[in-house]
A and B are shown apart, each in its own frame.
Chain A
Amino acid sequence: MFKILKYSFFDLFRSRWSFVYFFFYLLLGLVLLFLNNDLSNAIITLMNVIIVLVPLIGTIFGIMYFYNSREFTELLLAQPIARKHIFLGQYLGVAISLALSLVLGLGIPFIIYGLLESSAIWDFLSLLVVGSFLTFIFTALSFGIALRFENKIKGFGMAILMWLFLAIIYDGIFLLLLMYFQEYPLEDFALAASVLNPIDLSRTLILLKLDISALLGYTGAVFKSFFGTTKGSIISFGVLLAWVILPVWGMLRLASKKDF
């Protein structure tokens, strides 16, 4: 598996795209710091970008890599390597190189700006951890979609739809429900709904970390009392982890049944 990971990783490393992604974050970090002139503000702006963009990049990269490396995959399948290791290796190769672009691309400008002496370091670190989680989650989901759909156009469409749903439509439905049932106590429902969507969960986690939950009103207080506790952090961390493990497991199951 590690050999496959190595080859996938270097394959991506040699392709221009991971550098484009890396330089994009480098530029984003520098520009935000320059414009905001303040670490905490830059982190809040960055969060809004990361929450939407990281899942999108993970999805598109995952699906493109999978379809593009089909020949490589077929070559590997005829070798004495277990299927599980082939797909897990490729997945980790993509996810790790994307996460690395994110961490390095944002980390470098922030460190130069003096992050290490600042109190915002923990907020920034949680942003990177959440961003890496989102990368692993959406790469796994897109690999699963690519395995499920032989037709590239269909696969691409489904992947974008999946992203659109989790990043935008889910929130829309969520808001509609909140409005429609506003006479009822909805705190538990709101809590559950935000924990179940990895993008919402990530956003909530960072907002609470940044201590601006007051903006969220009463719900914010309920959220704070849930996520602020050890139990709340363990549950949210567990959910993020489950969002990585379940799609990877499903992806491997699909791979074990597929004909090549």
Chain B
Amino acid sequence: MVTVTNLHKRFGSQKVLNGLNLETNVAGIIAVLGPNGSGKTTLIKSLLGMVIPQQGKIAVNGKKIRRQSDYRQEIDYLPQIANFPGNLTVKELIGMIKDLRGKPARDKELIAFFGIENFLDKKLSKLSGGTRQKVNIVLCFMFDSPLIILDEPTSGLDPASLIKLRELLQKEKAAGKTIIITSHIMNFVEETADRILFLLEGVIYFNGSITELKTQTGQDDLEHAIAQILT
């Protein structure tokens, strides 16, 4: 699905990605973990073409993405901070994105699933952080694309919505999609992820299942296993 070879990115003098290599060719949920500033968001934004790396190659579905945009038709993305144009209503925003993509969408189903019907006519600037995140999730999942990239999907969600999100992820996974998630909530990662990618100093430090990570570090709890790597 996604192939990354020798990816280098620096912002000014700060090196963020340092020759990163990655290959994801099986469906399932991949969690990208790492301390703050380890390059998780930079990696994700490079996949989307929002950040332009200095060196290295990225291919999605076998096609190089440099200077391309059509490949994003196959990607659903949930940004970390749900910033939307504040003067639009939820309904207008959903309509606009549908119009721009020109693809059938399952927005009604997801709106009902997350219970945000009452907010459709509200302006986005008037929504609470959690509701905004739900809108963000609806926007992301409504196109049913084979590759889903989620940057901190849990932020601001209440426990009930978190359960719904988990349910949704399992459904998408069962449909054979590849889902890439970054999160700092280890419980969430442990319950959803099939594979862990641990980023440290701009390269992938660990790539394997949760069980492998636990055996390698000799810890029986994911949080401690991660902490073990960092010390």
Q: Mark A130-154, 1 if CB is under 8 A from B, else 0.
A: 0000000000000000000000000
Can you list 26 A-B pairs, Cβ within 8 angstroms, ordered by A? A3-B99, A3-B100, A4-B100, A11-B87, A69-B85, A71-B83, A71-B85, A71-B86, A72-B85, A75-B84, A75-B85, A77-B48, A77-B50, A78-B75, A79-B72, A79-B100, A79-B101, A80-B70, A80-B72, A80-B101, A81-B72, A82-B69, A259-B11, A259-B50, A259-B51, A259-B52
Does residue A119 face the partner (Cβ distance < 8 Å to B)? no
Contacts of A75 in B (CB 8 A): 79, 84-85, 97
A78 touches B73 (CB 8 A): no
Contacts of A69 in B (CB 8 A): 85
B72 touches A78 (CB 8 A): yes
Q: Which 4 A-B pairs have the closest CB atoms?
A: A71-B83, A80-B72, A80-B73, A78-B77
Whole-angstrom distance between the alpha carbons of A78 and B48 in the complex? 6
Known: A76-B100, A259-B51, A260-B50. A81 touches B69 (CB 8 A): yes
Total number of A residues with any Cβ neighbor in B under 8 Å: 25
A residues whose Cβ falls under 8 Å from a Cβ of B? 3-4, 7, 11, 14-15, 69-72, 74-83, 256-260
Whole-angstrom distance between the alpha carbons of A48 and B196 in the complex? 66
Contacts of B83 in A (CB 8 A): 70-71, 74
Does residue B96 face the partner (Cβ distance < 8 Å to A)? yes
Total number of B residues with any Cβ neighbor in A under 8 Å: 26
Contacts of A3 in B (CB 8 A): 99-100
Q: Mark B81-103, 1 if CB is under 8 A from A, else 0.
A: 00111110000000011011100
Closest residue of chain A to B50 (Cβ to Cβ) is A260
Closest residue of chain A to B96 (Cβ to Cβ) is A7
- With a 10 A CB-CB cut-off, give which of B83, B97, B100 has the most chain A CB atoms: B100
B residues whose Cβ falls under 8 Å from a Cβ of A? 11, 45, 48-52, 67, 69-73, 75, 77, 79, 83-87, 96-97, 99-101
Q: A4-B100, A81-B100, A260-B45 are in contact. List 9 more A-B contacts (CB 8 A).
A: A74-B50, A75-B84, A75-B85, A75-B97, A76-B100, A78-B75, A80-B71, A80-B72, A260-B51
B87 touches A71 (CB 8 A): no
Closest residue of chain B to A72 (Cβ to Cβ) is B85
Contacts of A71 in B (CB 8 A): 83-86
Whole-angstrom distance between the alpha carbons of A74 and B51 in the complex? 11
Known: A78-B48, A259-B45, A260-B45. A14 touches B72 (CB 8 A): no
Whole-angstrom distance between the alpha carbons of A80 and B77 in the complex? 11
Contacts of B70 in A (CB 8 A): 80
Whole-angstrom distance between the alpha carbons of A69 and B86 in the complex? 9
